[in-house]
Amino acid sequence: MMLIISRWNPFAQKLGPKRFEHFKTCKVNEKIDYLETELAKENDKNKKLRNDIHTKHEEIMKLKDNVDYWKNRPTRLAEMFNEIYDNVWTDTLEGLNQPKQIATEKKAVEHMASILKVCYEYCANKFQDTLTQVEEILLLNVEKNTDEELYKEECKQLKDMLKLAGVRTSKGLNQDMAIKSVHDPKLRKVMETYKDVTEKFTKQCLEICWLMAVQDPQVVLHWGSLKEGSSINSDHFKCFTRSGTLLEYVVWPAMLLHKDGPFLSKGIVQPLATTNTSTRFYKKVFYN
């Protein structure tokens, strides 16, 4: 083998067999050292990556432990919205249907729809006022025109902060706040008259509407067409106590992820009565 190497390799022939073997051994050792160094570097990178993953995992677990975070998800808001309809809405309707309260089921339903609209409008305006006040304080030195990217980023951080605090801050809202925000004196008087019956319902409407308002973009309510006799879109609404295709009134709105966005939950409508149609209350269709 040595003769072959020496014959065909001028460098090996010049060094001689022993020196050439030593040279090869040195080169192999250098390669081994290089590979071991690179392996150590990769191990350090992997160790840092594992530490980063562990840190992120801990942050995620802490966030998951935060009940307020999960209550703020749009899908969870849709569930809560449906629960209000299934439970406290039904109880309030029964309370309003008692003697000496609202005369008819339709008027009672429409009154609760008015309360929900008042709460929704109040929370949307209240959140915008709160956001404006916080921006004025915390973004005092950030010029919107000259530091547009910084301004957008800090505005997003402020919205995230308000969203995370949404559940806690929603507890501070009450029925009297909503009533005072009503400009229509007739509606304000009706709300005052029945506020003992509707207090729990109004409170929960305020809380859900506030959690909708703090989303970015905001989750919105969809009432559809309010014109009596208009066609009912079965993709967006379910029927209340009877079936039909033409609208009499809206019972409960649908919920959208954002304006013109996908539906998170369907609404409830009462179709116009037709012959041989029963409208008894116990046949009310609940959400799935």
Give pLDDT tens digits for 149-188: 777 777 777 788 888 778 788 888 888 988 999 999 999 9
Q: SS3 of 169, please?
A: helix
Residue 164: the pLDDT is 78
Number of domains making up the chain: 3
> What digits encode the pLDDT tens for the residues 14-63?
666 767 676 778 778 888 888 888 888 888 887 777 777 667 666 655 65
Residue 100: the pLDDT is 78
Domain limits for position 17: 2-57
Residue 10: the pLDDT is 62
- Tell me: do 89 and 48 sit in the same domain: no
Q: How many CB atoms lie within 10 A of CB 51?
A: 10
Residue scoring higher pLDDT (71 or 108): 108
- Tell me: do 97 and 144 sit in the same domain: yes
Q: Cβ distance 251 to 241 under 8 Å?
A: no
The β-bridge relationship of strands 237-239 and 267-271 is parallel
Alpha carbon of residue 17 to chain centroid: 77
- Tell me: do 86 and 25 sit in the same domain: no
Residue 174: the pLDDT is 87
β-bridge mates for residue 269, sequence order:
239, 250
Angle, helices 195-213 vs 185-193, to 10°: value is 120
Angle, helices 195-213 vs 105-138, to 10°: value is 40
- How much is the pTM? 0.70
- Whether 66 maps to a domain, the answer reads no
- Average pLDDT of the segment spanning 101-119: 93
Residue 279: the pLDDT is 43
- Tell me: do 210 and 257 sit in the same domain: no
- Whether 65 maps to a domain, the answer reads no
- Whether 116 maps to a domain, the answer reads yes
Please state, in angstroms and rounded to a whole number, the distance separating the CA atoms of residues 65 and 258. Answer: 27
Sheet of 263-265, strand order: 220-222, 254-256, 263-265
